[in-house]
Amino acid sequence: MVKQNNIAIIGTGFSAATLKYFLKSEADFFEKSRGIGGRSSTRKVEGIGSFDHGLQYISTNHEEFSTFLGSNENSIWDGKFIINFNKNKSLDSKKRIIHSEGNNKLIKKIFEKSNIFFQKELREIKRNKDTWNLIFKDDTEANYKTVLITVPFQQALNLTKSFTSDFYSKFNFQMDPNLTVMVAFNKSLGLDYASYTYKDDPELGFAANENTKKPYLLNNKLELWTIQSSVKFAKKYIQNYRENKNLLTEQIVKAFLKSVKINYETNTIIHQDIHGWLYAYGKQLSAPNSFWNEDLKLGICGDYFSGFKAEHAFLSAKHLCLQVQKTLL
């Protein structure tokens, strides 16, 4: 696959969906995984159901972002939500936008009729006169005039450092990890809340009852929970989590059940797994909203430019798009 094209976009998460939404030109998308969504990700387990093991929900007051979300087939997560469960707990009533078939579909419609190459992990980019030579992990190559990169910070820096290290060195971009447990119990735990948020807990960050999000997809005899670790816990264990999956999963599930005063021994677990996100969330910081080099025709955007949520990815990609549009059209 060696072709000379106009715009290549790397990734198919929220940032890439936003580029697609605002860009007035055609583009080709290259995605390392098998589907769209990026960190807005859903794990389907045969006979069990599905877990939103990345982004949980979107809450926004931003009008343009709401319109963007509304152009998909999203719904509202119904239930009672408790925050700071371990410290000064209170109910939280903000509107939570989800997709009832799984949050990987939150941006699905935007990508309809897009030219997407899946399982194409970009390994290297090289500058050839006035084009970019993209080299993929499977050793295929493609040439484009403009490249827009939407991958998390450390990966974007690795791919582009000969062109961007001066830029990146000016800002303290950083992304924290998360360990996310997916567990199915053989019966309902009988809990009151659809989700629990923890503050400064050594082990727990957040827990969601998946049955309250997407009842139609589930084996309704089971109850599915997605439990995110605290950042502190993830930082300690992320590097070697694959070798300690069972121990870490058990530790998180036990901590969650203890927090809701349920005895671990009296519940049967039908399925459990753990996913490690090396780059889960960014930090809120003050930086430009995106990177654009007009001469090189290289653009970079992502949530980490200004925060850690899908809304930040949207704002960053929109900012990049405006700059690209000014110079390309």
Ligand X SMILES: Cc1cc2nc3c(=O)[nH]c(=O)nc-3n(C[C@H](O)[C@H](O)[C@H](O)COP(=O)(O)OP(=O)(O)OC[C@H]3O[C@@H](n4cnc5c(N)ncnc54)[C@H](O)[C@@H]3O)c2cc1C
Instruction: For residue 61, give every residue at least 6 positions away whose Cβ sits within 8 Å of its Cβ, in sequence order, or none.
Output: none
Residue 306 Cβ vs ligand X, minimum distance, rounded to whole Å:
10
Q: How far, in whole angstroms, is CA 140 from its chain's centroid?
A: 27
Nearest to 304 by CA among 318, 285, 321, 278: 285
Task: Tell me how long the chain is.
Answer: 329
Answer whether 285's CB lies under 8 Å from 306's CB. yes
The one among 253, 302, 318, 319 contacting ligand X by CB under 6 A: 302
What residue type is 247 in one-letter code? L
Judge contact between 190 and 252, C-beta under 8 A. Answer: no
- Sheet-wide strand order for 204-209: 90-92, 81-83, 195-197, 204-209, 223-229, 175-185, 269-282
Instruction: Write down the least CB distance from residue 153 to ligand X, Å.
Output: 10
Given candidates 122, 184, 255, 315, which one binds ligand X under the rule CB under 6 A?
A: 122
Distance CA 42, CA 38 (A): 10
Site for ligand X in 175-194 (CB under 6 A): 178, 180
- Quick one: tokens of 63? 């009008």
49, 54, 102, 276: which one binds ligand X (CB under 6 A): 54
Min dist CB 203 to ligand X, Å, is 15
Which of 181, 280, 298, 315 touches ligand X (CB under 6 A)?
Answer: 280
Q: Does residue number 14 form part of the binding site for ligand X (CB under 6 A)?
A: yes
Retrieve residue 241's tokens.
């989590």
Write down the number of H helices and E strands in the chain: 6, 19
Residue 97: beta bridge partners?
58, 76
Rule CB under 6 A: choose which of 72, 79, 121, 236 binds ligand X: 121
Stretch that binds ligand X, among 140-148, 190-198, 283-291, 310-318 (CB under 6 A): 310-318
Residue among 9, 27, 55, 224 that touches ligand X (CB under 6 A): 55
Residues 17-46 that bind ligand X (CB under 6 A): 30-33, 38-40
CB of 148 to ligand X, least distance (A): 11
**Site for ligand X, residues 245 to 264, rule: CB under 6 A:** none
Tell me which residues touch ligand X (CB under 6 A): 10-16, 30-33, 38-40, 54-58, 121-122, 150-152, 155, 178, 180, 228, 277, 280-281, 302-303, 308-311, 313
